[in-house]
Amino acid sequence: MPTKQIICRNTIQGMQAGIIFGYVGQIDGIVRRIKQEYGHPMKVIATGGFARMIARESVTIDKVDHFLTLSGLQVLYERNEEKHRERNPQA
């Protein structure tokens, strides 16, 4: 489990803190700029292997969804399957 503190007492914890809080700072900074530029409220969903760890420290991430990409692919497949059946009823 990575450290919860940015000031650490050994090299390993210091490197872990630097990596985690460095990425959190980058993500939060980018999300703030996107929200400011877009000008409308939005939900921020984190995906990927370290999403939960990053989201715990982030102030801009609203939700973690490890299956977002797969869910999106399923929606696309189902929509295309419906269109295919409409065009080719015998298939």
How many Å apart are CA 82 and CA 88, to the nearest integer?
A: 10
Q: Kindly state the tokens that stand for 13.
A: 């914890």
| Confidence category of residue 2, pLDDT binned at 50, 70, 90 | low
Q: What is the pLDDT of residue 91?
A: 61
- Domains of the chain, by residue range, sit at 11-87
Q: What is the pLDDT of residue 49?
A: 87
List the alpha helices (DSSP H) in 7-67: 11-38, 51-57
Percent of the chain at pLDDT exceeding 70: 97
CA distances (Å), origin 26, targets 1, 33, 36, 84: 21, 11, 15, 43
| CATH of region 11-87, choose from 3.30.420.40, 1.25.10.10, 3.20.20.70, 1.10.3720.10 | 3.30.420.40
User: What are the pLDDT digits (tens) for 6-42?
Assistant: 899 999 999 999 999 999 999 999 999 999 999 999 9
| Confidence category of residue 1, pLDDT binned at 50, 70, 90 | low
CA distances (Å), origin 23, targets 29, 63, 78: 10, 17, 35
